[in-house]
Structure 1
Amino acid sequence: MKHIHRNLYYAAVFLIFIPFWPILFILRKQSHKRYSTFVKIRKKIALAASSLVGFKYQIQWEKEVDWGRNYIVCANHTSNLDITAMIKVCKHDFSFIGKDELLTNPVTGLFFRTIDIPIKRTSKMSSFRAFRRAQEYLQEGKSIVIFPEGGIGEDYPPVLDPFKNGVFKLAVDLNLPILPVVIEDAWKVFWDDGAKKGSKPGIVHIRVLKPIEDEDLTIGANELRDRVYGLFKKNLNST
């Protein structure tokens, strides 16, 4: 039954995407001007598909977030549902930085060819281009969402993998706040892409920590990375 549920979820995503495809296809060459339209359509698709198969998202805010500002949003990564969790959290126009394999997916591919930022993590040149584009978006006032572990690990139950350094250097260089988002248990209802364990309806609990900003950004990128990693480790161990 869990594998049937997984298939129903992916079918729901695709079927909800289809009516929006002509609009997105027509606007794809104007995606920079129509950026907010792409963000809004993606939100409708993600949340509607989750709702249809019984995925719910419960958010706890450590501090009220000022969405009049832009952020580098960092989250741990154990499930494909983490993408929808971040879409649910963010009230500001944003782009994902994600693996270039998402370009081949019929749904995510369209967004990663327009508003999102694909990265081939084994290529230094791809990483350089990705973070250059992220810098441009941030300077335009948009937010960036990244999973600093660099992907979903193979351990089950999941463990928090070490964070990559690039996003923290970006935060220090641009003096932009980091918004840590702890996704506590998405893996319990949908681990990774669901291929091994399937999925089931349930609640994904999300904890949005207070932004890291101002004097906390005056330290080096490595120290900032370690500090943010420690926050995630502490909060995940307390769940």
Structure 2
Amino acid sequence: MVVFRYIYSAYSLLMFSLLMVIFSPFILIPLFVSPRGSKTAFFFVRLWDNFWSFMVGIRYRIHGKEHIDRLQPYIYIFNHRSYLDAPVIPMAIPQDIRALGKKELAKIPVFGLLVSRLAVWVDRKDPKSREKSIGQLKNFLHKGHSIIVAPEGTRNDTGYALLPFYTGAFRLAVETQVPIIPMAVIGADKLLPKGTLLMRPGTIHIYFSSPIYPDKAENTLAVETLKEKCFNRLEAMILTHE
């Protein structure tokens, strides 16, 4: 069984890298040619994702998509437990999105270049970096793009459903009056746990909540209230479906 997982994991990584090289021109060129190229780019991101998932035996089951108005920008938040959360996002969310990611990911060859066109990098230890990233995300929201944030800030390998949330996503929601959609990713950590590159095939379930709207009062209390409400909603979704 262990030997099979090593072979399968090596095969999965090889397929991921090979497909990334094949699809990268189709993703990057539209993004460089026009600011409106993101729709074309995301078509090829999802195609790459579909090919890879099919070839390695990972399936997705999406629940609650009816809560999403495709013409409305949202701030999506999710529970982060696995590197497999990355392919989940474009497969599950039926919109062009921008992500907040750790700056270390930008150093990965080819992948870093690709994602840099669709993400905002942040050093969570640097207050200036965090503030700059909030400004960039706000600009994306004003342009009508949805964004996705892992409010825990890192992958969670504890026994708790969630780690404490950072405040940035909720301050952003209050300042822009953009609703938040909690998104529970269930099962990704069973296929690829934190701390290992050994994968196995299987099914990942994604559950969307109805949107949570921020209070119109732009103050610290509104931010904290929204953060608590979103934490409780996402925690309940995880505990219900795990």
TM-score scaled by structure 2? 0.89
Matched, 1:166 2:171: no
CA RMSD of aligned residues (A): 2.2
Could you say if the C-alpha distance between residues 177 and 194 of structure 1 is closer, same or farther in structure 2, counting changes exceeding 3 Å? same
Q: Give the 5 Å matches for 1:108-127.
A: 108-127=111-130
The structure 2 residue matched to 1:186, chosen from 188, 193, 196, is: 188
Q: Does 70-79 or 35-44 show the bigger shift?
A: 35-44
Per-residue deviation, residues 160-184 of structure 1 (Å, max 9, x unmatched): 1111100000001100011110012
Give the match for residue 209 of structure 1. 209
Could you say if the C-alpha distance between residues 17 and 62 of structure 1 is closer, same or farther in structure 2, counting changes exceeding 3 Å? closer
Secondary structure of the residue that 1:34 maps to in structure 2?
A: helix
Q: Give the 5 Å matches for 1:61-72.
A: 61=64, 63-72=66-75
Could you say if the C-alpha distance between residues 57 and 23 of structure 1 is closer, same or farther in structure 2, counting changes exceeding 3 Å? closer
The structure 1 residue matched to 2:238, chosen from 213, 236, 239, is: 236
Q: Which runs of 5 or more structure 2 residues have no equivalent in the other structure?
A: none
Give 1:11 deviation, angstroms. 1.2
Q: How many residues align?
A: 236
Give 1:158 deviation, angstroms. 6.3
Give 1:205 deviation, angstroms. 1.1
Matched, 1:9 2:12: yes
Are the equivalent residues in 2 in contact too, given 1:79–1:193 (CA < 8 A)? no
Q: Which runs of 5 or more structure 1 residues have no equivalent in the other structure?
A: none
Could you say if the C-alpha distance between residues 27 and 237 of structure 1 is closer, same or farther in structure 2, counting changes exceeding 3 Å? closer
Give 1:230 deviation, angstroms. 0.9
Paired letter, 1:58: R
Secondary structure of the residue that 1:118 maps to in structure 2?
A: strand
Give the match for residue 75 of structure 1. 78
Distance 1:62 1:91 in 2: 8
Give 1:113 deviation, angstroms. 2.4
Per-residue deviation, residues 60-86 of structure 1 (Å, max 9, x unmatched): 117432111111011110011112211
Per-residue deviation, residues 82-116 of structure 1 (Å, max 9, x unmatched): 12211112111111111111111234312332221
